Structure 1
Amino acid sequence: MTVLPHRITGPVPLVSTVDGVVRGTLEQGVAVFRGIPYAAAPTGPRRFRAPEPAEPWEGVREAVAFGPTAPKRPYSPPLDELLPDPEVAGDGCLNLNVWTPSPARTGLPVLVWIHGGALLHGSSAVELYDGAPFARDGVILVSVNYRLGIEGFGVLPDAPANRGLLDQLAALEWVRRNIAAFGGDPRQVTLCGESAGAVCIAALLAAPRAEGLFRRAVLQSGAPAALSPEAGRRTTELIAERLGVAATAAALATVEPAELLAAQSAVTSGGTPLTGGNSFQIVVDGELLPRDPAEALRAGAAAGVDLLMGSNSEEYRLWFVPSGLTERLSRLQLRLALLKFRVPRATVRTYRANRPAATPGELLGALATDLLLRVPLNRVADARGDGSGRTYLYEFGWPSPVRRLGACHALEIGFVFDTLDRPDTVALTGADAPQELADAMHAAWVRFAATGDPGWPSWNASRPVMVFGPGAPEVLCAPRDDELRGWAPYRRTS
C-alpha cells in the first residue's frame, strides 16, 4: 500500500490509484476503502453500453461509504426477511470496495467477491460480505457491484450482450492495475462468488478475454450455464411488451429506471432458480463467450486455474420451505415435474429409497438441486482429472434451525466470511451457529486464496469431498454416489 503523509485525528489510510488518491478508514487494524469507481457511471448514453473508463479526479476522494448499488428491487416476501438487500442511492453503481491489513504489507493474496442474487438482486453492501476477517488473516478482499437485470443482462440487438459480465471484467482489470498499491499481488488473485456470482465466474473461466486476470476461482452453489441469445431474449421482449416499447436499447433508454424495474419485477416474479420462470441468464454471444461455459470447461478451458467448487446439501429449501412448496406439491405435480426434467425412473427410485420420509416437494427439491448443481460440478471436476488444474470439491451440510431451512442455499456465506455475528447472517443461521465450523471453512478459503490448496485432497479417482457439517468437517469419498450415477447426462464410467 502507498500510504501518503496525511493525518487528521490519527492514522488515515490513503492510496494512490491510477485514477487518483482515495482515503479510506482504519477499522480495528484493517484499512477499508468503500465505493471506489472502477468504471464510469452507466447512465445516459452509457446506460446499455459496455463499461467505459472511470473519470480521473483531482485531490483526495473519500472512500468511506459504500457506493451506489445497481438499480434493483428487494426480494419478495418471505425471502426479503431472510436475504437483506440494502439499496444505496446514486448513479455510479460500477464501484468496488477493498479491505486490506494495516500496517501496510506487500505481496498479499487477493480474493475478489462476486455477489449472487439471480442477476436481479444483491450488492457489495450486504453486511455479511464484510471483508475484515479475510484482511485480518492476510488476504485482501475486494467486493464488486455490477449491473443487474435488464440493464446488465437483457439481450438487445443494439447493445453488447452480457454487460454485467463485462462490468466484472472491468473490475478485474482495475484490480490488476491497482491492487499492488493496496498491498496485493496481482498474480495471486482468486475470483470467488456464490449462486449467480458463481455462474458468472464459470462464464469468465470460459471467456478468452479474462485469461490471466485471476489464478484461482471458487464456485459456491453455482454451476456453468448459459443460453443462446435467441432463448435469452425472451425475458427482455416480455418486459418491452409490457412497457409498450421496442425491445431495443434505444427504446428502453427512454424509460425511467423505476418504471423499467416495475415491469421487470412483474415479468420475473414467481419463478425460482430451481423451478424456472422468466429470468435473466448469461448468453453465448460469440464475442465475450464464444461457446457454452460448461462445454468449454469440460474441453479444457481455464486449465491453469485452480478450482474450488461445491454446494449445500439442501439448496432447495430456501425457496421451497418458506413458500410452503415442500408440503403443497402433490404426487401428480411431482410426476409432471419429473417428466419435464426427464428424470430417469431408476434415479427417482434411488432418491426416494434414500429419503423414505420425504414429501413430494422435498423429493423434487433434492433431485433439482443435484441436477442443477452437484451433477454439473462433478462433471467439470471429472473433466479436469487429467491434471490440467487442481480441483477441490466441498459440500456444506450444517442445517439451520430457522424456519426449517436446513442446509439451504446461501447459508454457507456467513461461515466462509466468518461473519456469524452479523444480523444478516443470523437471519439465516439463527443465533447459535457453530463458530468452530466457520473457523474451519473460513480458514480453508484463506488457504486456497494463498496457496491454491484448501487443505484436503484434490479431485482424483476416489472422488474426495470435504463435508462441512453437520458435525466436524470430514473428507468423504464419493458421497451419495449411488444417486449421481443415476443421471443420464452424468454417466460416470469409473
Structure 2
Amino acid sequence: MTEQTVFDTTVAPEVRTAAGVVRGLWRSPRGGHGLPSAAFHGIPFAEAPVGPLRFAAPVPHAPWEGVRDAIEMGPTPQRQTLAEITLIPEPSIEGDSTLNVNVFTPTPASAASAGLPVMVYIHGGGYTAGSPASPWYDGASFNRDGVVTVSISYRLGFDGFGCIDDAPDNRGVLDWLLALEWVQQNIAAFGGDPERVTISGQSAGGGAVLTLLGMEAAQHLFTGVYCISGAVGDVQRPRAQQLARRLAELAGVPATREGFASLSEERILELQQKAQEPADGPGKPLEMLGRMIAEGLALGPMIDGELVQRATLESFKLGVGADKPLVLGATDDEFSMALDEAKGKLRFIPKSFMLGKAGLAKAKRKAYFAANPDVARRDTAGAVGRYMTDAMFRTAVLKVTDAREAGAAAAAKSGATASAPTWVYRFSWASPVYKYAMHCLDVPFFFDCLDSVKIDAVAGANPPQALADELHAEAVAFVSTGVAPWPKYTDNARATRVFDVPSSVIADGYGGVRPLLGAAA
C-alpha cells in the first residue's frame, strides 16, 4: 500500500479545481483498516445539458465563486430506477446538472502526495440506463490501497446516442471525453497522477472503454484499460438513422434537433424502446435474441467517421491503442439465467433446434457442443442461455485479443512503439442465489465492497471475502503498475486467470467459444 499523509478529519476536506473550490466529506476506512478517505460527490464537469444545450456537445462547466458543497450525489441522466432490471443498485437522482463526477481519494491535496494512480470508472446499463451513484462504485477500497477513483456520468439513450442530422453525433461519447479531460486537468489536486490513469467499466461501461481504446482522439487521456464484461458497441449510421426516423414517426415530430427537443426526456424514454422493435412487432423471444446477437444494440457509440472513425476492432487491427496495456474478461454465465423461467416449456424441445432458432448455424452447433461438454449436458434453457453469454460476451474477448495481436504485428512491421500486453481473465465463482457466475456478480468483488447494500441478493449471505481480496488486489496491481500479476495472453499460451474458489491460471480459457467464430477450438 502507498504511504499516506494523516489529515485532520475534523475539518471537511476542500480541493481547488479549475472551476472552483469543492468541499467533500471524510469517511472511515472500509472494514476499519487503514486511514480515512475523502469523497467528493457530484462535481459538475459540464453545464447542464438542457435548453439550448440539449443535443449539443458538452460545454465545460463555468467557474463558481466561493466553496461548492460536494457531499451528495449529483443528478443522474438515468431518470427511473431499474430495480427490476439490473442486479446493481443504481439510483436515479432528479435534477438538470447530470454531467458530473464523483472523486474518492485518500489524499485530497496535491501537496500531500507524489501522485497516486487513478482509476476512472464508467458504469454500464446498455447505454440507456445505469448510474454513477451506485454504492458499489464507491472507491473506498481502492483508496485504502493507494488508488484515486473517479466515477463519471454521461447522457443515456437517445439523448446521448441518438443520430440527429443537425446535432453533434455521439454526444455520450463526447461526455466521456470531456469527463476524462476534466480528470487530466484536475486530478492532481486530489492527489492523483494524470499520467497514470486507467479507464475501467462493466457491461456497456466495458464497451465504452473498448470504444475509447480504439479512438485516436482519446489516446492522450489514459494509460491503461480494464474491461469487465464488455462487448464492442459499434452502431452503423444507417441503423441509427432508421431508429431516429422511427422515433420521430412515433412521436409525431420532425426528425430534427428542434423536433426531438420538443419532446420531454420522459416521452423519449417511453418511445425509444418501441422504436427499436421491428415494424411488425417485437417478434418471438428467440428471434429477438438472434437479432440482438447478430445486430448488437441500436443505441450506443456510432461509427461516425470522425470521432469514432471506424469499427473498433478495425482500429485495433491498425494498431490504435496498441501501446495501452489491457485487461479484459467476462463471467462464465453472463446471461445464462435469462431463460430459467422457461425451463418447463423448453424441456421437451431439442437444444440444437432452439440454438438454431437463436441464430446458430447448424454447421457450428456440433463443434460448439464438442468444445463445451458442460453446455451439452445442460437442459435446453441452460444451453441456450449459455449460448447467449458466449455469443455476446465471451466471443468478444477473443475478437478483441485477436485484433490486438494483429495490431501489434502491424505496429512492429511499421517500426512503431512496442505494443503493450493483454491479460485475460474469467470470473467463474457461481452465485449461491442464482447458481451461475452471472452478469454483474463480479462487480462487488472488483470494488471489494462485499459489505455494501444488496450484496446478499446476488452473492448470498456469505460471499467469499478471500476472492474479493484476491480479485481486487490484482486490479489494484494493474492500475498501479500497468502490469497484471498473472501471465499475459499470447497467441501461443493464451493464459487465462480464473477467479474462483480456489482461483487458478489455465491455458486458453476461452477456447470453447472459438467454434462460434468459425475457428477450431
1:20 and 1:343 mapped to 2: Cα distance?
Answer: 62
2:216 and 2:237 mapped to 1: Cα distance?
Answer: 19
Q: Which runs of 4+ in 1 moved over 6 A?
A: 269-273
Cα 1:265–1:480 shift into 2, 3 Å:
closer
1:76 and 1:131 mapped to 2: Cα distance?
Answer: 22
**2:422 aligns with one of 391, 401, 406:** 391
2:438 and 2:68 mapped to 1: Cα distance?
Answer: 40
Percentage of identical aligned residues:
38
Contact 1:113/1:191, CA 8 A, preserved across alignment: yes
Structure 2 residue matching 1:487: 3-state secondary structure: helix
1:340 and 1:374 mapped to 2: Cα distance?
Answer: 15
Contact 2:239/2:298, CA 8 A, preserved across alignment: no
- What are the equivalent positions in structure 2 for 1:25-36 lying under 5 Å apart? 25-28=25-28, 29-36=36-43
Partner of residue 425, structure 1: 455
- What are the equivalent positions in structure 2 for 1:63-462 lying under 5 Å apart? 63-75=70-82, 77=84, 79=85, 82-102=87-107, 104-267=112-275, 279-321=298-340, 324-329=341-346, 330-331=349-350, 334-339=354-359, 344-350=364-370, 353-385=373-405, 386=408, 388-404=419-435, 406-460=436-490, 461-462=492-493
Q: TM-score, normalised by structure 1?
A: 0.91
Structure 2 residue matching 1:384: 3-state secondary structure: helix
Deviation for aligned residue 1:326? 4.9
Letter in 2 for 1:51: P
Partner of residue 55, structure 2: 48
Structure 1 window deviating more from structure 2 (53-62 vs 361-370): it is 361-370
Cα 1:76–1:334 shift into 2, 3 Å:
farther
Structure 1 window deviating more from structure 2 (102-111 vs 253-262): it is 102-111
Contact 2:368/2:513, CA 8 A, preserved across alignment: no
Contact 1:346/1:486, CA 8 A, preserved across alignment: no
Deviation for aligned residue 1:155? 1.2
Partner of residue 11, structure 1: 11
Gaps of 5+ in 1: 1-5
Structure 2 residue matching 1:56: 3-state secondary structure: coil
Query: What's the Cα RMSD here?
Result: 2.4
Deviation for aligned residue 1:333? 6.1
1:328 and 1:120 mapped to 2: Cα distance?
Answer: 31
1:282 and 1:66 mapped to 2: Cα distance?
Answer: 26
Partner of residue 502, structure 2: 472
Letter in 2 for 1:93: T
Structure 1 residue matching 2:258: 3-state secondary structure: helix
Contact 1:298/1:379, CA 8 A, preserved across alignment: no
Q: TM-score, normalised by structure 2?
A: 0.86
1:343 and 1:187 mapped to 2: Cα distance?
Answer: 49
Deviation for aligned residue 1:435? 0.3
1:338 and 1:76 mapped to 2: Cα distance?
Answer: 28
Give aligned pairs, total: 479
2:457 and 2:345 mapped to 1: Cα distance?
Answer: 24
